[in-house]
Structure 1
Amino acid sequence: MCQVGEDYGDPVPEGPPPPRPGRELRCVKCKDGLPVVVIRAGDAFCRDCFRAFYVHKFRAVLGKNRLIFPGEKVLLAWSGGPSSSSMVWQVLEGLSRDSAKRLRFVPGVVYVDEGAACGQSWENRAKTLAEVKLILRSFGFPWHIVALEEVFTLPPSVLRCSAQEPVGTEGTYKVAVDSFLQQQHTVGSSPSPTQQEEQLSQPCTQDPQDPAGPPPAAHIEALSRLFDSVKTLTAKEELLQTLRGHLLLHVARTHGYSKVMTGDSCTRLAIKLMTSLALGRGAFLAWDTGFSDERHGDVVVVRPMREHTLKEVAFYNRLFAVPSIFTPAIDTKAPEKASIHRLMEGFLLRLQAQFPSTVSTVYRTSEKLVKAPRDGCAAGPRCLLCMCSLDVDTADSATAFGAQTQDFSQTQPPTPLAEAGAAPMPCCSAEVGRAQKCCQSTLLCRSHLWILCHLTSWLRPSSAAKGPRRISRSIWLRTVTRRCTPLGAEPGATPKQEGKDGQAACDCINKNIFN
């Protein structure tokens, strides 16, 4: 209970501050070193153990999937950000002589200049490119710089799936490894430094000593008009991602790369999964978030950083001085509700701050998604933007979209009455319907089929060329009852009965099409 006058007593002297918990903790791996990084609650690592933990994650993802063969050319998509910079750094250290299990593929780096999409001037873009080239030279790999404006010069083959199938079975991987080891044993135990330099000094897209000038003014203006015509930030981000993917695919095919590595982290893939669900791309989540993406056929996109969170990437880059560069993105300084991408990012990061297993739970869900079997590029229609198979079953579909698609594809071109030279005749009659075969579908009612087959002949020639237009109910009803004989009407039926049948057809059309 409260005592009288206790509020007027002298303040209780404070004791010494409690010791920092980091001083009492020890590394969970070696049990000896002082921790410098706390990844999760209770998971504190010292500097050396955290480095081994981080490198093992990267190597384990590559070794578990076995998609990159020895001696294969791999293109590293570097944007200058933390994840892609850490990915290039892991490859650089994996190719060094001091590495325990050296990586055996031949890397190259590509950088896509997206300054035009963000509204930057050429002077600011030139300064950024100068810093980018300094970092690219420090890597020692063949590097390629492409501007986003080059999408206007891409060949049509970018929008087509290659007929070449990706090779990635376990048997072929073992055969490739054995042949590579035998070749290395024949030539020597390890290549000399001169041979390594010759292997990495391959021709680049641009001469480092002679930087290329700005893209053509027409392309810059066309790209600006393209992004200005897109009204929402969500659509702009999707458009930028599509154009970037086309450029990476073109560079890989032009210079002989069969794999493309991207720096998508675990956090970024979790955000992408939720965003794709909101955008209606649930059927393609296995390709958009999985380790490998074989939709292009000859070039496979792999994501070796998918086990690393953004927190781990940030700690590693800070502790080991991984070079990176900041370039303003299209959503820089945008509010949280400006796009679906930003909204999902803020939602997941807030949940992650309160519940540390949020990102890993979403990510593990994406791992359970199974890809549909690949039947070849000619198995069905594909989207020209993302090259994914269209999930529309036009052969046997009970949806309204499938029914209307099949029916309108079978409709004959409109013929004006003046050119026909004869009175209109129902196309489903014995004389015409059997020859045209335009009303043989059973997906629609017979009245609906008959009305659609005569829809264009009732319009004037000037409007028929533009396709069917909206017609008021009264005009449609008068046209049906006055000029047409309903399908299925008995020979010699009274006008009253024909009018009833026509009105029933009118109600069917108004209900299914004009509402």
Structure 2
Amino acid sequence: MCQVLEEYHEPLEQELRSASKKCVKCKEVLAVVVIRAGDKYCRDCFDQYFRHKFRAMLGKNRIIFPGEKVLLAVSGGPSSSSMLRQVQEGFSQSTHKKLRFMPGIVYVDEGGALGQSAEERRQTVAKMEDMFKATGFPFHMLPLEQVLDIPSSVMVKAPSSPQAASAYKAAVDRFIRNGVSSDVTPEEKVGTSPPYVLESQTHSLRQLMDSAKTLTAREDLMSMLRQQLLVHTARCEGYSKVMLGHNCTRLAVQLLTSISLGRGAHLAQDTAFSDSRYGDIISVRPMRDYSAKEIAYYNHLFHVPCVFTPNLHTKAKEKSSIQHLTESFVNKLQVDFPSTVSTIYRTSEKLQTACKNSSSEDHCDKCLLCMCSLDTSVEMASAFQATLMSERLSQPKSVGANSLFPRENPEWSGTPAGSCCKGTGQNCVEDGGCSSAFRLPDTADVRRWLCYSCQLTVKDMSSVDVLPQCILSEAQRRQNRSRMREEISDFLLDD
């Protein structure tokens, strides 16, 4: 009678065990990486799998046209550094089909907002410069303080170029016919060092970040400021696409975080492959199919250089912010349930945003901070209107500049004297108010042009006067146009 413990059973187990360690693709070499259960790859097959995944993502979407200038946003982290390596591999001589766009690199130094010393910031920038010079691509080093001086034109959605399949085919034919090379010329290989930053600019940036009372608001605010600076740089340098290094794990965390922060209406734009909220500048996420585990394995096996840069929640407690808590929750759940991240990520792929017709869309319908469509134009019997009513009733009865919604009071006729024109009274009118063309925007003016999530962020700020001048100028301009429209409403024809 057969027994389990007999000797003839042991060689069979050893043979099955050795066969299970073979690569699932070539089935010859022993596997060195186990991505998921049953997905074991050797070194060469894993390299091919990783590179094919990146090229397939770009080829499937057909967003980046041949000959276009693409700006790679590299922070020095594992995901963005791996993205930079994939672009390098796409331009190497051994590549069968080279990439056809013209790459450039940008790095945003956030040390001023984090309270780092000048020496620490110089060391980090020096490491990033060494990494970028090795690629041969043109690069730009930008301090986050520059966001305080960008013009208000970044808040206006510029007209976008057609992105249809026929336009892509026409661009490919034009690229082949003209024989334009996508290689970087020697003149373009020169990088730009970070400009000199004044202490006053760093102090203003620190005031802006310190005005947010919670770490959740600080992280949300810094993300939006970074995005505005990237878009402004892309426009000034002639880039039409911005390539971000968001991976699958980060997008899964961002989806749950956005829902918690009230950004449910903008989930598709925040997590999709392409984001065209700025019109002429489109953000793409080619790393969105990679998990953090795959990227970590690839960087370790192929020695991809990374530079550690601290952020706002470095060494912070788990419950210090909604973003940090959500990230910890997803990572812990992923350990016991390996399909957690993929399930959340696949859900985000099914989301779509109901946008207005591009011909009738006005840039005044865009949020001042995130540039997404305003989701506050809802019916009166809604949870948002109920929240506004509760906040209004909890405020003091006096109406003035400190009131939360002064525009809703028909008796309001201007900002009280002493709180307009920075207290100079030069542009005050006879009724004690300030001329709408010169009155400084207050909290109510700014919140009026924000989406629900950004309103919560501004609500956590002690003052809106520390916001970048481009946001305050655009809020004042929109407020003046709204007042002008109300004044001439009797002479306008109905839509």
**Length-normalised TM-score, structure 1:** 0.71
The verdict on how the C-alpha distance between 1:361 and 1:218 changes in structure 2, with shifts beyond 3 A counting, is: same
Structure 2 residue aligned with 1:382, among 366, 379, 398? 366
Q: Write the distance in 2 (CA, Å) between the matches of 1:21 and 1:342.
A: 40
Structure 1 residue aligned with 2:80, among 81, 84, 101? 84
Partner of 2:464: none
Q: Write the distance in 2 (CA, Å) between the matches of 1:304 and 1:414.
A: 52
Q: Write the distance in 2 (CA, Å) between the matches of 1:387 and 1:213.
A: 27
Partner of 1:281: 263
Q: 72-81 or 126-135, which moves further after superposition?
A: 126-135
Structure 2 residue aligned with 1:333, among 298, 306, 315? 315
Structure 2 residue aligned with 1:313, among 289, 295, 300? 295
1:273-322 deviation digits (Å, cap 9, x = unpaired): 00000000000000000000000001000000000000000111111111
The verdict on how the C-alpha distance between 1:225 and 1:172 changes in structure 2, with shifts beyond 3 A counting, is: same
1:201-248 deviation digits (Å, cap 9, x = unpaired): 327562xxxx55640111011111121222211111111101100110
Q: Write the distance in 1 (CA, Å) between the matches of 2:295 and 2:100.
A: 24
Q: Write the distance in 2 (CA, Å) between the matches of 1:381 and 1:368.
A: 25
Matches within 5 A, 1:396-415: 397-399=380-382, 401=385, 409=408, 411-413=410-412
Shift of residue 371 of structure 1?
2.4
Structure 1 residue aligned with 2:60, among 58, 64, 69? 64
- Is the partner of 1:32 in helix, strand or coil? coil
* 2:22–2:29 contact (8 Å) kept in structure 1: yes
Does 2:183 align with 1:196?
Answer: yes
**Structure 2 unaligned spans of 5+:** 1-9, 393-404, 415-430, 434-441, 443-495
**Length-normalised TM-score, structure 2:** 0.73
Shift of residue 393 of structure 1?
2.6
Q: Write the distance in 2 (CA, Å) between the matches of 1:321 and 1:132.
A: 16
Does 2:110 align with 1:114?
Answer: yes
Q: Write the distance in 2 (CA, Å) between the matches of 1:212 and 1:338.
A: 32
Q: Larger relative CO (CA 8 A, sep 6+): 1 or 2?
A: 2
Does 2:377 align with 1:393?
Answer: yes
**Structure 1 vs Structure 2: percent identity of aligned residues?**
49
Partner of 2:229: 247
Q: Write the distance in 2 (CA, Å) between the matches of 1:85 and 1:462.
A: 58
Q: Write the distance in 1 (CA, Å) between the matches of 2:380 and 2:102.
A: 47
Shift of residue 413 of structure 1?
4.3
Matches within 5 A, 1:76-475: 76-162=72-158, 164-184=159-179, 196-198=183-185, 201-202=187-188, 206=192, 211-212=193-194, 214-376=196-358, 377-378=361-362, 381-393=365-377, 397-399=380-382, 401=385, 409=408, 411-413=410-412
The verdict on how the C-alpha distance between 1:141 and 1:380 changes in structure 2, with shifts beyond 3 A counting, is: same
Q: Write the distance in 1 (CA, Å) between the matches of 2:222 and 2:102.
A: 28
- Is the partner of 2:106 in helix, strand or coil? strand
Q: Write the distance in 2 (CA, Å) between the matches of 1:22 and 1:250.
A: 55
Q: Write the distance in 2 (CA, Å) between the matches of 1:96 and 1:365.
A: 36
Bigger Rg, which one: 1
- Is the partner of 1:117 in helix, strand or coil? helix
* 1:26–1:33 contact (8 Å) kept in structure 2: yes
Does 2:29 align with 1:42?
Answer: no
Residue 374 of structure 2 aligns with an amino acid whose one-letter code is L
* 1:37–1:44 contact (8 Å) kept in structure 2: yes
**Structure 1 unaligned spans of 5+:** 1-14, 416-460, 467-515
Shift of residue 392 of structure 1?
2.5
Residue 255 of structure 1 aligns with an amino acid whose one-letter code is E
Q: Write the distance in 2 (CA, Å) between the matches of 1:368 and 1:32.
A: 38
Residue 181 of structure 1 aligns with an amino acid whose one-letter code is I
1:358-408 deviation digits (Å, cap 9, x = unpaired): 0000000000001223523417621100001111336x6544839989996
Q: How many corresponding residue pairs?
A: 389
* 1:75–1:252 contact (8 Å) kept in structure 2: yes
* 1:348–1:359 contact (8 Å) kept in structure 2: yes
Shift of residue 414 of structure 1?
5.7
Residue 224 of structure 1 aligns with an amino acid whose one-letter code is R
* 1:166–1:300 contact (8 Å) kept in structure 2: no
Shift of residue 43 of structure 1?
1.1
* 1:141–1:201 contact (8 Å) kept in structure 2: no
The verdict on how the C-alpha distance between 1:205 and 1:219 changes in structure 2, with shifts beyond 3 A counting, is: farther
Residue 155 of structure 1 aligns with an amino acid whose one-letter code is P
Partner of 2:439: none
Partner of 1:509: none
Q: Write the distance in 2 (CA, Å) between the matches of 1:151 and 1:380.
A: 21
- Is the partner of 1:337 in helix, strand or coil? coil
Residue 172 of structure 2 aligns with an amino acid whose one-letter code is V
The verdict on how the C-alpha distance between 1:401 and 1:205 changes in structure 2, with shifts beyond 3 A counting, is: farther
CA RMSD of aligned residues (A): 2.9
The verdict on how the C-alpha distance between 1:414 and 1:143 changes in structure 2, with shifts beyond 3 A counting, is: closer
The verdict on how the C-alpha distance between 1:22 and 1:333 changes in structure 2, with shifts beyond 3 A counting, is: farther
* 2:137–2:189 contact (8 Å) kept in structure 1: no
Q: Write the distance in 1 (CA, Å) between the matches of 2:145 and 2:84.
A: 25
Partner of 1:51: 47
